[in-house]
Amino acid sequence: MLLKAINKEDLAVFVDNLIKGYDEVVGPVPKEFKYVFSKIGSSAELALDYDSTLLPPKKHLLPQREVLFSFDKADGIEIEPNLDATKRVIFGIHSCDLASIWLMDQIMAEGNADAHYLTRRKNTFIIGIDCGKPCSENSFCKSMGTLKPEGGYDLFLTDLGDLYAVEVGTNAGEELLDNGSFYPASYTIKDRFFETWRGKLHNFPDRIKFDTEKLPALLTESYNDLLWDVLEERCFDCGACTTVCPTCYCFDVFDVANLDLTSGERARKWDSCQVQNFAEMAGGNNMRGKRSDRLRHRLFRKGKYFKEKYGKFACVGCGRCGRSCLAKIDVMEIFNRLK
């Protein structure tokens, strides 16, 4: 591991240099009493001690709505793909969200690679930051194995009081170092770094009450459990949970014609497996017509399907869904009920 350090007072200069040197720098900024990832114009806007953001940083890699291509049929058929190659730095991503980006990278690159995501991703530099303490009552990252990042970042900052220890994850990360006063971490700094991380692991409670390796098996057993029917009594089919989830990426594709009716665009937009007609077909057939079927499907994606396919859970334990669900349907709580 390549470990560097930067003094806290030098961080602002680093960020401002990034703002000058790249097309766009995105970071956590306050929104009243919450936080959001947003493009910044100066390092002063950053709130690096944020707890969690309303939406995960996925919106900068897979935007809520994205034009896939535009077309014009006026004079033959012209089709122009929309690939966003903005040189973008996302600053200050916590380890749970980093893990979700890793997962998204696998999914989007697999089979027919999604050029729109990947173009954006290739041009995005990711600077993570450690979060110190649990960000909310609902977070259970430690149980899902995402507390300590395993790659997925170009740089990762750990707060050591007067300075940040900086892990360099990629060659691209190394290039970023030119923008600030980084120096090699001394042995003392390294010691403090490891010490901090040991301490951090203690700060985080084990919120899932069993070994999560058992989760896929427990879910399998629960397939026809009453649990799902109980949740059926509460869920609104709103999809707020999937909207805020860093690992949810389902989308709808649709055409929007301009008013000349000969030109327009094909776009995609976040969709949710929790809404009623997500899987509905012509004639009204719907394989997940019941609310409980849809809830189960979401939970199985989070705790089983992806784990079995990629070796990682598609839930990174960020707690956003639990915080955002008005019916108080909380993944952590459901997992715990499986035992």
Partner 1 sequence: MHNNESFYLPQVAEVVGIKEFSPREKFFEIKMPEGPLGHQPGQFVEVSILGVGEAPISVSSSPTKDGDTFEMCIRNTGSLTNKLHQLKVGDKVGIRGPYGVGFPVHDLTGYDLLFVAGGLGIVPLRSMINYAVDRRSEFGKITLLYGSRTPSDMLFAEDIEHWKKVPDFNFMPTVDVADESWGGKIGPITRLFDDLKFDPSKTMSLVVGPPVMFRYVLKAMLAEGIYESHIYLSMERRMKCGVGKCGHCQMDYVYVCQDGPVFPYTRVRNLQEAF
Partner 2 sequence: MKPKVAVFALTSCEGCSLQILNLEDHLLDLLGQVELVNFREAMDEKREDYDIAFIDGCATTPHDVEELKKIRAQAKVLIAMGACAVQGGLYAMRNFHDHAKTVETVYGKDMAAHFSHSLPVRPLSHYVKVDHNLYGCPMDKFEFVEVVRSLLLGKAPNIPDYPLCNECRAAENICVFDRGMTCFGPITRAGCGAICPANGKGCEACRGLVSKPFIDSHKKIMKQHGLSVEDLLAQFREYNGYWEETHEKSGN
Ligand X SMILES: Cc1cc2nc3c(=O)[nH]c(=O)nc-3n(C[C@H](O)[C@H](O)[C@H](O)COP(=O)(O)OP(=O)(O)OC[C@H]3O[C@@H](n4cnc5c(N)ncnc54)[C@H](O)[C@@H]3O)c2cc1C
What is the binding site for ligand SF4 (CB under 6 A)? 235-241, 244-247, 274, 302, 315-321, 324-327, 329, 331
State the greatest distance between any 2 C-alpha atoms of the chain, in Å, as a whole number: 68
Residue 187's DSSP bridge partners are none
Give residues with Cβ within 8 angstroms of 273, minimum separation 6.
Answer: 239, 242, 250, 279, 288, 294, 297, 298, 301
Query: Taking CB under 8 A as the rule, does residue 77 contact partner 2?
Result: no
Which residue's CB is nearer to partner 1, number 195 or number 252? 252
Cα–Cα distance, 47 to 49 (Å, whole number)? 5
Please identify, among the stretches 95-103, 179-187, 237-245, 279-287, the one whose residues bind ligand X according to the rule CB under 6 A. 279-287
Residue 46 is classified by DSSP as -
Cα–Cα distance, 134 to 131 (Å, whole number)? 7
Query: Taking CB under 8 A as the rule, does residue 259 contact partner 2?
Result: yes
Query: Taking CB under 6 A as the rule, does residue 225 contact ligand X?
Result: no
Which residue's CB is nearer to partner 1, number 156 or number 249? 249
The site partner of 282 among ligand X, ligand SF4, partner 2, none (C-beta below 5 to 8 Å per kind) is ligand X
Query: Based on the number of CB atoms within 10 Å of its own CB, is 163 exposed (0-12), middle (13-18) or buried (19 or more)?
Result: buried
**Distance of closest approach, residue 26 Cβ to ligand SF4, in angstroms:** 20
**Distance of closest approach, residue 269 Cβ to partner 2, in angstroms:** 9
Please identify, among the stretches 124-132, 168-176, 185-193, 320-328, the one whose residues bind partner 2 according to the rule CB under 8 A. 320-328
Query: Taking CB under 6 A as the rule, does residue 280 contact ligand X?
Result: yes
Please identify, among the stretches 6-14, 78-86, 217-225, 229-237, the one whose residues bind partner 2 according to the rule CB under 8 A. 229-237
Radius of gyration of the chain (CA): 21
Identify which of 88, 144, 62 has the alpha carbon closest to the alpha carbon of residue 313.
Answer: 144
Q: How many residues bind partner 2 (CB under 8 A)?
A: 33
Cα–Cα distance, 207 to 335 (Å, whole number)? 10
Q: Which residues bind partner 1 (CB under 8 A)?
A: 68-69, 71, 73, 77, 79, 81, 83, 107-108, 110-116, 119, 223, 249-255, 257, 261-262, 264, 266, 268, 271, 273, 278-283, 285, 287-288, 293, 297, 300, 304-305, 308-309
DSSP of 126-137, one letter per residue? EEEE---S-SST
**Distance of closest approach, residue 21 Cβ to partner 2, in angstroms:** 27
Q: How many CB atoms lie within 10 A of CB 37?
A: 23
Cα–Cα distance, 161 to 20 (Å, whole number)? 27
Query: Taking CB under 8 A as the rule, does residue 290 contact partner 2?
Result: no
Contact 317, 144 (CB under 8 A): yes
- What is the footprint of ligand X within residues 281-300 (CB under 6 A)? 281-282
Cα–Cα distance, 74 to 32 (Å, whole number)? 47
Which residue's CB is nearer to partner 2, number 71 or number 197? 71
Footprint on this chain of partner 2 (rule: CB under 8 A): 31-34, 36, 54-55, 64, 233-240, 243-244, 254, 256-261, 270, 272, 275-277, 324, 326-327
